[in-house]
Structures are given as C-alpha cells and as structure tokens.
Amino acid sequence: MLGGASMILLALFVFLRMPQILMFDSTRMFLQWLTSALFAFILIFSYPHFIWSYRCAYQQGFDFIRRHFLALVVAPIVLLTLILVCIMTWSQPVTVLPWVSSADNTLRSFGFDLHWSSYRSCGQLLLANLFICQTIMAVQHYCMQAYGVALQGGSDEGLKISTRQKLLLRLNLYALAAMNLFSGYTFFAFFNTSNFVYHPVQFPQVFGVIAIVFFFATGALLILKIVVPIYRKTSKLPPMAASVPVLSVWLWLQPFNQPFGYQAWVVPLAHGAQYLFFALRIENARFDANMYSRLPKIKGSRILFIMVISLSLIGIGFLSFNYLPVLFDQQHFVPGLNGNFFLLAAFVCLSLHHYFVDAVVWKHDSQAKALLQNSLKGSPGA
C-alpha cells in the first residue's frame, strides 16, 4: 500500500529538520521547492479522493440517499448553516457571550485550557471549534481506514484474525486517536493569518500519559496476540498488506515527532492515495453499470472512461477547494471578512462532510462496498 511511502517521507522530514542539516542553503531550497510542488500532489491525490466519495454516495440512487438521509442531506445543510453563522458573527467580539469567559475560567481550574476567550470574535471561535471537530473526525477516519485496509489486505493474503483480535486492534487505534487529540493540534498554526489565529487547546497532562500508556500496552498485546502466534505457525511475519497500513497510521498520528506541516499536508495526501486505490477497484468493477454499458465496444474504452472521470474529479476538486473559495476571498463580500476565510471554511466544510459521506459509502447496503469485495476476491496481492 502507498502508506509505506509516507513512512519514508516522515523519516526524510525529520532528517531535513535537524539544525545541522537545515543550515545548508541547498536544504532550504529543497524544502521551498517541495512546498511549491505539493500543490500538484494535492491535485492528483487529495482533491479527487474527496470528490470520488461524493460520486460513490450520490450516484447510488435515491433509495440509498433516503436510507442515509442524515449523512447525505442533513449534515451538509447543518455545516453550511454553521459557516453562515461564522460569517454573521465574524465581527462580534467574544465578550458579547459572557459565559465563554466563565467556562474558560471554570475548565482551567480543572486543567483544561480551551482559550475560547482568546479569540477576537464569535465567528473565529466557531471556526476554530469546527477545525477541532474536523481533525477529531479526520483522525477517526484515518484510523478506521487503516483498520479496514489492514483486514482486507490480510484477508487477501490468507490471514484471518479473530473477533477478539479485531477488538484489540480497534482499541489500539482509539488510543492512538486519544494521544493525537491530547496533543492539542498545535499544527493548526500552519493556517494562522493576520485575521485568524488558532489557539491550541491544552488538556491535563495525565490524560496524555494515560493515552500513551494505553497505546503502548495495546500495541504490545497486538504483538503478543497476533504477530507472535502467526510467526510461530508460519515462521513469517504478518503480510505487508496487513501490517503497513497500521504502521503508517501509527506514525501519521503519533504526537512525539511531527515535522511542521506533516500532519496538515502529507498525511491527507497519503490517505488520499490509499483511497484512490479502492476507487479504481470500484470503477474497474463497473460502479455505474448504465454509464459503462453506453461505452463503444472498442478496446481501451473503459480505461479512457476512467481517465476522463479522474480528470473531471481533479477539476471539480480544484474548483471546490481552491479556485472558488479564493475567488470569494478576493471579492470581499462581507465587510471585515478578509484573509483566507472562505479557503479555510471550504476545507473544513468539505472535509467534515466527506467523513459523513465516507461512513455510509462503505456500509453493508452500499453498492460500492459490494463491488470492492467482489473485485478483490481472487486477486492476490491486490
């Protein structure tokens, strides 16, 4: 799986950030080039994976949309409403809500420093909390994807694990998510501008210690209860298709050494690359059968069709995440609302809705899940 490349990138980023290496002009020039080149990878991997999830959800018919009405209809309306509230309250100081300061002081006495009263306006406070919700759901999203990919990859290689072993793996990933949460998401400083500054949430230190202990304890149990029995039985370690996704997400979300920008940009790119692998399998299995049936009966027509879809989704993703939000930012529709508000709002809104959408795309009643399972049967190494 492509997650392995992200582990190599993490090692490279840590190496380049060492003071004795970073002092070289060539190193700084390379990092500057990498930042510029990153947009191309976002176009190829990140934008399309979001939009492909919409294709997999909304093109399954009205019955599927009706069954998952909350995720596919109610959720986007609620998110757009919250963004509208952000716009309407962007110039209202937080002091108009006296309970904010009171809640800050009360929770601070218990070791929780939310910094709510540090924001300039109610709109900024709401946007910051949407950022936190987005990241909490993103971490859950990454963990559950790693869980699903590991089980599917292991199954393709003939690895079967018990219900208890699956529960142990989920507990380990939940502990990983807790460790990530208690770090306070300091990497959001990447998005700070002169008009919006994120203030990291601080939790009682004991919470982070408990999460770390639980993570390493469940990790040790994974080795004792899964890896060791497999090695004793086969004289081999678990297949790479099962182990690499878990190892990757461990490194993605660990709070001990996060190079600047890694979790904000590299992790979503690696996640998107993993996602597109499964999207390709679904398209190869003829996700939209009616549309595929209208293709001319000539060699290569299906591959050409998938390429056209891919380029179309890259374009739609670019318009949704970049061009239109930047255009709105430049027009200054709302007095006092400048900077990158619409760019940030589009990222948060589309990301949050993507997690709702993706949660239903892979449910048991989804055509996408059925096609994926059928496409992977009898495909060694897929």
DSSP for 24-72?
SHHHHHHHHHHHHHHHHHIIIIIHHHHHHHHHHHHTS-HHHHHHTHIII
Percent of the chain past pLDDT 90, that is, above it, reads 20
278 close to 376: Cβ distance less than 8 angstroms:
no
- Over residues 292-350, the pLDDT tens digits come to 666 677 777 777 888 888 899 899 999 998 899 988 888 877 777 767 889 888 988 99
Question: What pLDDT is recorded for position 2?
Answer: 54
Confidence (pTM): 0.79
Q: Give CA–CA dist 35/38, Å, rounded.
A: 5
Phi and psi at residue 89, to the nearest 5°: -110, 15
**What's the mean pLDDT in 373-382?**
51
Judge whether residue 6 has pLDDT over 80.
no
- Between CA 171 and CA 263, with CA 113 as vertex, the angle to 5 degrees is 50
143 close to 249: Cβ distance less than 8 angstroms:
yes
Radius of gyration of the chain (CA): 22
Question: What pLDDT is recorded for position 379?
Answer: 43
- Over residues 206-256, the pLDDT tens digits come to 998 999 999 999 999 999 999 998 888 888 888 888 888 898 889 888 888
Tally the C-alpha atoms within 13 A of residue 147's C-alpha that lie toward its C-beta: 19
- Dump the DSSP string for 176-228: HHHHHHHTT-GGGGGG--SS------B--HHHHHHHHHHHHHHHHHHIIIIIH
181 close to 214: Cβ distance less than 8 angstroms:
no
Question: What pLDDT is recorded for position 217?
Answer: 96
Task: Select, from the ranges 28-32, 99-103, 272-276, the one with the highest average predicted confidence (pLDDT).
Answer: 99-103
**What's the mean pLDDT in 341-368?**
89
Max Cα separation, the chain? 71
Question: What pLDDT is recorded for position 354?
Answer: 92
Question: What pLDDT is recorded for position 126?
Answer: 92
Judge whether residue 368 has pLDDT over 90.
no
Question: What pLDDT is recorded for position 380?
Answer: 36
Query: For residues 316, 354, 373 and 60, what is the CA-based torsion angle, rounded to 10 degrees?
Result: -70
- Over residues 60-87, the pLDDT tens digits come to 889 999 999 999 999 999 999 999 999 9
Going by pLDDT thresholds of 50, 70 and 90, the confidence category of residue 286 is confident
- Over residues 141-157, the pLDDT tens digits come to 889 888 988 888 888 78
72 close to 85: Cβ distance less than 8 angstroms:
no
